[in-house]
């Protein structure tokens, strides 16, 4: 029998979370919740939406799990805030780990994690609480991902890497083995990190410039 689950959020990520939990987990989504000031519609994905201020009364923590489906807004601070609030209410914070991911770290995954398809998590890696691994990442052996961090798609985290709390790592970033990334760092798309990154560092790779030759003048493609 599936355990009832309430999802915090009513946007794109909440819709994705509903799909993944419904089709590939031991949870059954029964409702959504948002802060009272953000409640615009009474239902979402065919389920009721209730104010977060009332969720513990209407869907008691002892009988329901909760998942915070929030992006990396304000460097993951919003997701962290709601994670801590739900935990203080007594909720079990559910994690979703795709059956299409290769996870070899013997369950060293925290609460409220969202690990999508085609991720590879090697042995002895550790994933903290409230971590998002979007699709297609490589998390190397003996690496550690800190709480409340968001890793976008096709990121390579080599072996022995340490990533702090509330970090954001963009698409196609590569982290060399045994580097340490401090708390609240931002690594932009396609960043190549070859040395330690102190806390609150911002690393942005150069974007590809447009060629002076227009496509209509190309001889071959």
Q: What is the mean pLDDT of the chain?
A: 97
Quick check: 148 pLDDT over 90? Answer: yes
Nearest-angstrom CA–CA distance, 198 and 139 = 20
Mean pLDDT of 142-162: 98
User: What percent of the chain clears pLDDT 90, i.e. is strictly above it?
Assistant: 96
pLDDT digits (tens, 9 = 90+) for 38-94: 999 999 999 999 999 999 999 999 999 999 999 999 999 999 999 999 999 999 999
Cα torsion 192, 141, 163, 98: sign: positive
CA distance 19 to 89: 25
Q: What is the model's pLDDT at position 136?
A: 98
Question: What residue ranges define each of the domains in the chain, with the CATH number in brackets?
Answer: 3-94 (3.40.50.20), 95-200 (2.160.10.10)
> Would the pLDDT of 220 be above 90?
no
**pLDDT attached to residue 221:** 78
Query: Tell me: the pLDDT tens digits for 185-210?
Result: 999 999 999 999 999 999 998 888 99
User: What average pLDDT does this structure show over 151-174?
Assistant: 98
Strand order in the sheet with 120-121: 102-103, 120-121, 138-139, 156-157, 174-175, 192-193
């Amino acid at each position: 029998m599936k355990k009832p689950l309430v999802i915090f959020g009513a946007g794109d990520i909440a819709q994705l979370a509903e799909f993944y939990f419904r089709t590939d987990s031991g949870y059954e989504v029964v409702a959504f919740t948002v802060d009272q000031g953000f409640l615009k519609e009474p239902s979402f994905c065919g389920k009721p939406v209730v104010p977060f201020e009332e969720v513990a009364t209407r869907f008691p923590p002892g009988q329901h799990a909760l998942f915070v489906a929030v992006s990396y807004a304000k460097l993951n601070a919003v997701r962290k805030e709601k994670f801590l609030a739900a935990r203080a209410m007594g909720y079990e914070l559910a994690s979703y780990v795709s059956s299409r991911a290769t996870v070899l770290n013997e369950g060293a995954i925290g609460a409220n994690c969202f690990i999508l398809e085609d991720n590879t998590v090697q042995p002895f890696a550790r994933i903290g609480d409230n971590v998002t691994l979007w699709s297609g990442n490589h998390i190397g052996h003996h690496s550690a991902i800190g709480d409340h961090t968001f890793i976008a798609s096709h990121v390579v985290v080599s072996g022995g890497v340490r990533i702090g709390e509330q970090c954001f790592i963009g698409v196609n970033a590569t982290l060399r083995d045994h580097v340490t990334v401090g708390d609240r760092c931002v690594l932009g798309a396609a960043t190549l990190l070859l040395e330690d990154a102190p806390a609150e560092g911002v690393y942005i790779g150069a974007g590809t410039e447009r060629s002076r030759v227009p496509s209509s003048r190309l001889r071959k493609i």
